[in-house]
Protein backbone atom coordinates (compact mmCIF):
# COMPACT_ATOMS: atom_id res chain seq x y z
CA UNK A 1 0.00 0.00 0.00
CA UNK A 2 1.49 3.40 -0.94
CA UNK A 3 2.50 5.73 1.92
CA UNK A 4 -0.25 8.35 1.25
CA UNK A 5 -2.97 5.68 1.10
CA UNK A 6 -1.71 4.10 4.35
CA UNK A 7 -1.66 7.49 6.13
CA UNK A 8 -5.17 8.25 4.83
CA UNK A 9 -6.40 4.86 6.06
CA UNK A 10 -4.76 5.39 9.51
CA UNK A 11 -6.39 8.81 9.77
CA UNK A 12 -9.78 7.33 8.91
CA UNK A 13 -9.25 4.53 11.43
CA UNK A 14 -8.46 7.04 14.17
CA UNK A 15 -11.47 9.20 13.29
CA UNK A 16 -13.93 6.34 13.21
CA UNK A 17 -15.18 5.01 16.55
CA UNK A 18 -13.83 1.64 17.57
CA UNK A 19 -16.35 -1.13 16.89
CA UNK A 20 -16.44 -2.12 20.58
CA UNK A 21 -16.93 1.47 21.74
CA UNK A 22 -20.17 3.07 20.58
CA UNK A 23 -20.15 6.83 20.02
CA UNK A 24 -21.16 8.98 22.97
CA UNK A 25 -24.93 8.67 23.22
CA UNK A 26 -25.42 12.03 24.85
CA UNK A 27 -22.49 14.42 24.45
CA UNK A 28 -24.71 17.29 25.58
CA UNK A 29 -25.47 15.40 28.79
CA UNK A 30 -21.75 14.87 29.40
CA UNK A 31 -21.07 18.56 28.76
CA UNK A 32 -23.87 19.50 31.17
CA UNK A 33 -22.39 17.24 33.82
CA UNK A 34 -18.97 18.86 33.30
CA UNK A 35 -20.54 22.30 33.70
CA UNK A 36 -22.31 21.24 36.89
CA UNK A 37 -19.08 19.78 38.24
CA UNK A 38 -17.22 22.99 37.36
CA UNK A 39 -19.87 25.10 39.10
CA UNK A 40 -19.67 22.98 42.23
CA UNK A 41 -15.88 23.10 42.25
CA UNK A 42 -15.79 26.86 41.82
CA UNK A 43 -18.33 27.46 44.57
CA UNK A 44 -16.71 25.06 47.00
CA UNK A 45 -13.22 26.50 46.43
CA UNK A 46 -14.47 30.07 46.91
CA UNK A 47 -16.30 29.22 50.13
CA UNK A 48 -13.31 27.18 51.35
CA UNK A 49 -10.93 30.12 50.93
CA UNK A 50 -13.28 32.49 52.76
CA UNK A 51 -13.98 30.12 55.66
CA UNK A 52 -10.31 29.20 56.06
CA UNK A 53 -9.14 32.81 55.96
CA UNK A 54 -11.70 34.18 58.39
CA UNK A 55 -12.60 31.26 60.68
CA UNK A 56 -9.93 28.52 60.27
CA UNK A 57 -12.76 26.25 59.13
CA UNK A 58 -13.07 24.08 56.03
CA UNK A 59 -16.22 23.70 53.96
CA UNK A 60 -16.60 20.12 55.22
CA UNK A 61 -16.16 21.20 58.84
CA UNK A 62 -18.77 23.91 58.36
CA UNK A 63 -21.12 21.36 56.78
CA UNK A 64 -20.72 18.91 59.67
CA UNK A 65 -21.33 21.64 62.24
CA UNK A 66 -24.35 22.82 60.28
CA UNK A 67 -25.89 19.34 59.93
CA UNK A 68 -25.29 18.46 63.58
CA UNK A 69 -26.62 21.82 64.80
CA UNK A 70 -30.05 20.90 63.42
CA UNK A 71 -30.42 17.86 65.71
CA UNK A 72 -32.97 17.78 68.52
CA UNK A 73 -33.69 15.63 71.56
CA UNK A 74 -36.99 14.25 70.25
CA UNK A 75 -37.44 10.85 68.61
CA UNK A 76 -35.09 10.48 65.65
CA UNK A 77 -33.48 13.79 66.50
CA UNK A 78 -29.88 12.59 66.59
CA UNK A 79 -27.89 11.33 63.64
CA UNK A 80 -25.61 8.30 63.63
CA UNK A 81 -22.23 8.68 61.99
CA UNK A 82 -23.31 7.04 58.71
CA UNK A 83 -26.21 9.52 58.48
CA UNK A 84 -23.84 12.44 59.04
CA UNK A 85 -21.54 10.99 56.37
CA UNK A 86 -24.42 10.81 53.89
CA UNK A 87 -25.45 14.37 54.71
CA UNK A 88 -22.02 15.82 54.00
CA UNK A 89 -21.16 13.41 51.15
CA UNK A 90 -18.10 11.84 52.75
CA UNK A 91 -17.20 8.25 53.51
CA UNK A 92 -17.99 7.08 57.01
CA UNK A 93 -14.29 6.81 57.87
CA UNK A 94 -13.55 10.35 56.57
CA UNK A 95 -16.51 11.66 58.55
CA UNK A 96 -15.30 9.93 61.71
CA UNK A 97 -11.83 11.50 61.28
CA UNK A 98 -13.39 14.91 60.67
CA UNK A 99 -15.62 14.60 63.74
CA UNK A 100 -12.56 13.57 65.79
CA UNK A 101 -10.68 16.70 64.67
CA UNK A 102 -13.66 18.91 65.52
CA UNK A 103 -14.01 17.19 68.87
CA UNK A 104 -10.32 17.80 69.60
CA UNK A 105 -10.92 21.49 68.86
CA UNK A 106 -13.78 21.51 71.38
CA UNK A 107 -16.44 22.11 68.71
CA UNK A 108 -18.19 18.73 69.05
CA UNK A 109 -18.76 16.18 71.81
CA UNK A 110 -19.76 12.55 71.54
CA UNK A 111 -21.97 10.47 73.80
CA UNK A 112 -23.44 6.97 73.86
CA UNK A 113 -26.89 6.50 72.44
CA UNK A 114 -29.20 5.98 75.46
CA UNK A 115 -31.34 3.42 73.56
CA UNK A 116 -28.53 1.46 71.92
CA UNK A 117 -25.19 1.36 73.71
CA UNK A 118 -23.45 0.48 70.44
CA UNK A 119 -24.45 3.79 68.90
CA UNK A 120 -22.57 7.04 69.39
CA UNK A 121 -24.12 10.43 68.83
CA UNK A 122 -22.37 13.74 68.35
CA UNK A 123 -23.51 17.13 69.52
CA UNK A 124 -22.24 20.59 68.68
CA UNK A 125 -20.75 22.28 71.74
CA UNK A 126 -21.47 25.89 72.68
CA UNK A 127 -18.09 26.84 71.14
CA UNK A 128 -19.08 24.96 67.96
CA UNK A 129 -22.41 26.76 67.80
CA UNK A 130 -20.71 30.13 68.35
CA UNK A 131 -18.25 29.42 65.53
CA UNK A 132 -21.07 28.27 63.24
CA UNK A 133 -23.06 31.45 63.93
CA UNK A 134 -19.94 33.54 63.31
CA UNK A 135 -19.03 31.67 60.10
CA UNK A 136 -22.51 31.50 58.54
CA UNK A 137 -22.46 35.06 57.10
CA UNK A 138 -19.02 34.37 55.61
CA UNK A 139 -20.28 31.12 54.09
CA UNK A 140 -23.43 32.70 52.70
CA UNK A 141 -21.60 35.76 51.37
CA UNK A 142 -18.96 33.61 49.67
CA UNK A 143 -21.73 31.48 48.16
CA UNK A 144 -23.45 34.57 46.75
CA UNK A 145 -20.14 35.89 45.37
CA UNK A 146 -19.30 32.56 43.75
CA UNK A 147 -22.73 32.35 42.14
CA UNK A 148 -22.48 35.93 40.85
CA UNK A 149 -19.06 35.19 39.35
CA UNK A 150 -20.27 31.94 37.79
CA UNK A 151 -23.35 33.67 36.33
CA UNK A 152 -20.98 35.70 34.14
CA UNK A 153 -19.83 32.52 32.36
CA UNK A 154 -22.27 31.50 29.60
CA UNK A 155 -21.78 27.77 30.21
CA UNK A 156 -22.56 28.15 33.94
CA UNK A 157 -25.26 30.84 33.89
CA UNK A 158 -28.20 28.43 33.36
CA UNK A 159 -27.03 26.31 36.28
CA UNK A 160 -26.74 29.38 38.51
CA UNK A 161 -30.31 30.29 37.58
CA UNK A 162 -31.43 26.75 38.45
CA UNK A 163 -29.66 26.85 41.82
CA UNK A 164 -31.09 30.27 42.64
CA UNK A 165 -34.60 29.11 41.72
CA UNK A 166 -34.37 26.36 44.36
CA UNK A 167 -33.90 28.86 47.20
CA UNK A 168 -37.03 30.13 48.94
CA UNK A 169 -37.79 33.83 48.42
CA UNK A 170 -36.16 36.03 51.03
Q: Residue 62's domain is classified under what CATH number?
A: 1.10.10.10
Number of domains in the chain: 1
Would residue 162 count as lying in a domain?
no
Q: Is pLDDT above 60 for 15?
A: no
Would residue 56 count as lying in a domain?
yes
Would residue 73 count as lying in a domain?
yes
Q: Tell me whether residue 156 is exposed, middle or buried, using C-beta atoms within 10 angstroms of its C-beta: 0 to 12, 13 to 18, 19 or more.
A: buried
Give CA–CA dist 108/106, Å, rounded.
6
The pLDDT-based confidence of 23 (bands split at 50, 70, 90) is: low
Give CA–CA dist 157/170, Å, rounded.
21
- Give the percent of the chain with pLDDT over 70: 85
The pLDDT-based confidence of 11 (bands split at 50, 70, 90) is: very low
Alpha-carbon distance values, 99 to 13, 45, 49, 90, 163 (Å) = 54, 21, 21, 12, 29
Residue 103 sits at φ, ψ, to 5 deg, of -65, -40
Give CA–CA dist 159/19, Å, rounded.
35
Would residue 137 count as lying in a domain?
yes
As a whole number, mean pLDDT of residues 102-114 equals 93
Write out the residue range of the structural domain in which residue 89 sits: 34-152
As a whole number, mean pLDDT of residues 119-137 equals 95
Distance of CA 153 to the CA centre of its chain: 21
Would residue 29 count as lying in a domain?
no
Would residue 7 count as lying in a domain?
no
The pLDDT-based confidence of 74 (bands split at 50, 70, 90) is: confident
Contact yes or no for 36/156 (Cβ under 8 A) = no
As a whole number, mean pLDDT of residues 82-110 equals 95
Would residue 82 count as lying in a domain?
yes
The pLDDT-based confidence of 113 (bands split at 50, 70, 90) is: confident
Would residue 19 count as lying in a domain?
no
Pick from 123-132, 149-158, 161-170: least confident: 161-170
Sign of the four-CA dihedral 93, 108, 102, 75: positive
Angle at CA 23, nearest 5°, toward 20 and 27? 145
pLDDT at 115: 78
pLDDT at 72: 86
Q: Is pLDDT above 80 for 17?
A: no
pLDDT at 12: 45
Amino acid sequence: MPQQTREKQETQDMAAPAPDCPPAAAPALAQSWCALSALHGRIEAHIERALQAQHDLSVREFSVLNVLSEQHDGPGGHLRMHQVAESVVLSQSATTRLVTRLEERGLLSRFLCPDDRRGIYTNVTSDGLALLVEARPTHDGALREALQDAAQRPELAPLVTAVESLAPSE
